[in-house]
Amino acid sequence: MTINDADVPALTIARIERQLAGGELTSLELTRACLARVEAIEPRVGAFLTVLADDALTQADAADAARGDGARGPLLGVPLALKDNLCTTGRPTTCASKILADFRPPYDATAVARLRRAGAVFLGKTNLDEFAMGSSCENSGFHPTANPWDLARVPGGSSGGSAAAVAAEMCPGALGSDTGGSIRQPAALCGVVGLKPTYGLVSRYGLVAFASSLDQIGPFARTVEDAAILLEAIAGHDPLDSTSAPIEPPAFRRSLGRPVAGLRIGLPKEYFIPGVVPEVESAVRAAVEALAAQGAEVIELSLPHTDYATAVYYLCATAEASSNLARYDGAQYGYRTPATRNIIEMFTRTRTEGFGAEVKRRIMLGTYALSAGFYDAYYLKALKVRTLVRRDFERAFEQVDVIATPTSPTPAFKAGEKTADPLQMYLSDIFTISANLAGLPGISLPCGFTAAGLPIGLQLIAPAFGEERMLQVAHAYEQSQEWWKRTPALAL
């Protein structure tokens, strides 16, 4: 069988696995078709910062040869995309920032290395808000990314490039990172599946740090099953990451297909507030009713410290960003301003010229919160409230198995609509931030569309290391609906 561009949208990772194993398809044919679609669609979407066509074709050819020699695996020969804050040996890793425009890491991130060992094919590096700081993918230092469902709207952020690439059917899966919703929010706005694992389940080694106590790497895919396949490949202990959990992750796919009858689903009242667009609330409540129709019990509950989560996040995350981004000073690697008179001028001009406006804003917020006289009043207090947010979830999970909420209070908004008001942009992540503060796993999956044809996302949150139960519920809902089968009308 020879596959062409028109066949690509129908292929999920699970189906590709079967067709490659059955000899109906080769990785080289599939990779060429994906690259052809990238070439045709990418100028309108802007999902990629770097397309690695030659690398991809070489990797696909090697995968076909390995399969011919008897090698097997669910990702052998499968084309994927990588968010451009994941280190890739000898290939650009820019974090969408001019300060790292010419950076080529000497090593792979652990998640990338695990995919490489599994035989995955890397199509390229995807766009993001600079250093993963943003909710719209408009803060990239190179170009914005458009939402494939409506090119005048944003794809969400910060992993907007990965979400858009999967939604536009340029690849069947991708990796992103999630610090306050940066996988789940763009997944919701682009109508795909996005999963943030429990903090520590996936190694952060080689992920360029934004906020080290919040960052997690996770997958984008078209289906829950595909997300489980990708999570299986990248999860597990890594001695190179001191925060990596010393556990053996389960085979996540084994939970798929189990009935949800008897499971308890929590609906927190703080996530159904006046700021939620009515179409979004209706779709999410209908999704919960669909699970109830399968025998799940729905329990209303309260997460009382939710109202403080956004403020806590923007103190904790910016404080850590201030520390992590101090290394970009032009002294060792990355951009250095030319011809300065002394080292202080070099530091100042390098950072002024190399960082974008949003990154500077967050560095200044974090530096202020950590400064003498304000540390106790702001940062230390935020850490204490973060503990209260985590305890809210601990108490909630004594009553329920998973929590269901909207992923985003609104569907995709128009490009430029919120750039002049940082607070409104920050509130785009109001329903995703708490899971990061508590270190919990969360998944977003399509649960409907607005009258204007924009995707709506359902978020499920589970206890720490409860990915199996979360995937079980997500898959049960997905298979009872057909939202995931819809694709944007992007003609070649």
- pLDDT, tens digit, 9 for 90 and up, residues 304-363: 999 999 999 999 999 999 999 999 999 988 999 998 899 999 999 999 999 999 999 999
Catalytic residue among 97, 135, 182, 244: 182
Q: What is the pLDDT of residue 466?
A: 98
Q: What is the pLDDT of residue 6?
A: 55
144-186 pLDDT tens trace = 999 999 999 999 999 999 999 999 999 999 999 999 999 999 9
- Is 164:145 a contact under the CB 8 Å cutoff? yes
Known catalytic membership, residue 182: yes
Angle formed by the axes of helices 309-324 and 357-370, nearest 10°: 100
Reading phi first (left if > 0) and then psi (alpha if -120 to 50, else beta), residue 347 is in alpha
Known catalytic membership, residue 428: no
Tally the domains of the chain.
1
Domain that holds residue 407: 1-492
- Is 487:6 a contact under the CB 8 Å cutoff? no
Catalytic residue among 83, 125, 196, 418: 83
- Give me the CATH number covering residue 482: 3.90.1300.10
236-293 pLDDT tens trace = 999 999 999 999 999 999 999 999 999 999 999 999 999 899 999 999 999 999 999 9
Q: What is the pLDDT of residue 1?
A: 44
Catalytic residue among 135, 136, 140, 158: 158
Q: What is the pLDDT of residue 150?
A: 97
Q: What is the pLDDT of residue 420?
A: 87
Known catalytic membership, residue 83: yes
Phi, psi of 168 (to 5 degrees): -85, 5
